[in-house]
Amino acid sequence: MPLLNNGEALPALLNYCKTMHPRFPEELADKEKIHAALFPKEKFKEKRIRDLFSDLSLQVSDYLAWRAFSSDEGMKKIYLIREYQNRGLAEYANKEGARRLLELKASPGRSALQQLQKFQIKDLLFEDNETEEEYLNEAQKHLDHFFILAKLRLSTLLFSRRRYISGAQDIRFLEEIKQMDANEGLPGLERLYLAILGLLSGEIDQDVYLEARQTFFTMAPALAFEDRRVLFQSLINYTLRVISEIDHSFVSESWDLYMKGLETGAVFSERGELSDTTFTNIVINGAAIGQFEKAEQFILDYEKKLPGEIRGNAVALGRAYLSYNQHSYERVIEMLRDVKYSSVPYALRGRSLLLRTYFDQAMRDKWRFSPEFYSHLEAFFKYVQRNKDLADTKKLGYLNLLSFTRTLAQVAGKGKTQKGLAKIRDDISKAQQVIAKDWLLKRAKLIEER
């Protein structure tokens, strides 16, 4: 693919940008300095620099698209078949189509994209075949399976993230898909999606979970990346649901599931990286079940798998969770008090942990709450209330955490009656959206029993 072939200025600009990557310091990114570096003997022309950057941006966009297309053998075959047909080379188109269909049939996976490619080939070729009706029926069948898989994946993703999405979500055609499975029996991947979707949207069922877990890891090596990612994260989210709703001890299952995910590669991105959420969750789970040495070893072994821009926050927050669960409250405060968070999720998690640390420190010190606790509580309140990036459900969850924490702090030093504390515990239990509900209930009970 021809790139950067329209003069010397674009390659020179690209090389200059490389010297600034990844920080792009202001003193080097100044337009006049860039102009002076590229055209040392010429007068500064701002439009010339703007045009060069515009041209470079377009060429980089073309390059990225070309690179993605070049690595997608399936789409290359589809375009090749279409090009053969456009040139009147039906024989070549049919041969290439038949060859690609055999490749897809032999593939161990069964992704929505594969079903779409089968439909596209059948759709392109059916007019060139004597058995047009058969080809058309095959094309429709593959399109149906593409739709079913795509719909199930998106539905599962939606239910997996429903804690962060505002409003009720209506999933069209889901009941029809379930009926089709009951009448005809869908293939394995579709049935796995249906099982996990049921775990996320229906009643908690440990037998279904264990079967789905085993099926997933059996199928995982042959799954497309996107299916593997969505299904694994949905299994994790089911364990979080169990922990939140009925059994906090299920955190050990979440830890075991993550360990299996590390072993099989299910936790990693296509680039072999760990997301900061996954990294932190693994440490939190390890700390919660007392696996401090293994959690610390995980940090040492896998911190390099984190993207560089969020690595510092992720490691600091992970180690803070370890210290918190070892009751080293002063160490947690030292780690988190002045940290500059790189994103809203980190700010929420870090501030939440610091809040609980101040509270538990006061509990240890005979319920003497420090000025820092109240200052942090009010600042956290303002941060959540003013944050426009939070979904309503997420915002409500943190506001409830803060409100209940403030109430517990107030009653801890006032000798609230048993009846009053019982009502507070009941209010916490009944709250639909509340972060750290189990922690709040335990602290209410400790105040009641002191």
**Are residues 440 and 389 located together in one domain of the fold?**
yes
Q: Which amino acid is at 270?
A: E
Same-domain status, 147 and 231: yes
54 & 123 share domain: no
Residues 112 and 60 reside in one and the same domain: no
Residues 126 and 205 both lie in one domain: yes
Clarify whether residues 115 and 236 are in a common domain. yes
The answer to whether 119 and 146 have CB atoms below 8 angstroms apart is yes
pLDDT tens, residue order, the chain (450 aa):
556 666 688 888 888 888 877 677 776 678 888 888 888 889 989 899 898 889 888 888 988 888 888 888 888 888 999 899 889 898 898 899 888 888 888 776 668 888 888 888 887 876 555 556 676 777 788 888 888 888 888 888 888 776 544 444 567 787 888 888 888 888 888 899 999 988 888 888 899 999 999 999 999 988 888 899 999 999 999 998 888 777 778 899 999 999 999 999 999 998 899 988 899 999 999 999 999 999 999 999 999 999 888 888 889 899 999 999 999 999 999 988 777 777 788 889 899 999 999 999 999 998 899 999 999 999 999 999 999 888 888 899 999 999 999 999 988 877 555 567 888 888 998 888 889 888 999 999 888 887
Rg (alpha carbons) of the chain, rounded to whole number: 28
Quote the pLDDT of residue 4. Answer: 61
At residue 336, φ and ψ (nearest 5 deg) are: -105, -15
- Looking at 247, 263, 286, which one is the last position of a domain? 247
> Contact, 192 vs 219, CB < 8 A?
yes
Q: Are residues 65 and 115 in the same domain?
A: no
Residue 308 lies in a domain: no
What pLDDT score was predicted for residue 128? 54
| pLDDT for 303 | 95
**Does residue 137 share a domain with residue 65?**
no
pLDDT at 313: 83
Is residue 440 domain-resident?
yes
Per-position b or e across 225-244, b if 16+ CB within 10 A of its CB: eebbbbbbbbbbbbbbbbbb
Are 117 and 238 found together in one domain? yes
3-state class percentages of the chain: helix first, strand second, coil last, to nearest 5? 75, 0, 25
Cα–Cα distance, 363 to 372 (Å, whole number): 14
Pairwise CA distance, residues 298 & 268, whole Å: 14
CA 116 to chain centroid: 25
- Looking at residue 274, what DSSP letter applies? P
Point out the domain boundary residue: 47, 70, 93: 70
CB neighbours of residue 109 within 10 Å: 16
pTM: 0.73
Angle at alpha carbon of residue 217, lines to 212 and 219, rounded to 5°? 90
What are residue 16's phi and psi, to 5 degrees?
A: -65, -45
Looking at the structure, do residues 17 and 135 belong to the same domain, yes or no?
no
Amino acid identity of 360? Answer: D
35 within a domain of the structure (yes/no): yes
The kind and range of the H/E element at 144 are helix 132-160
Q: How far is CA 292 from CA 62, 77, 298, 377, in A?
A: 48, 51, 10, 28
125 with 60, same domain?
Answer: no
pLDDT at 166: 42
Domain that includes residue 49, residue range: 9-70
Residues 6+ apart with CB under 8 A from 223: 109, 111, 189, 231
In a domain, residue 137? The reply is yes
Task: Write down which residue in 207, 225, 247 finishes a domain.
Answer: 247
Q: Give the chain's domain count.
A: 3
Q: What DSSP character marks residue 432?
A: S
In a domain, 337, yes or no: no
Asked if 393 and 164 touch (Cβ cutoff 8 Å), the reply is yes
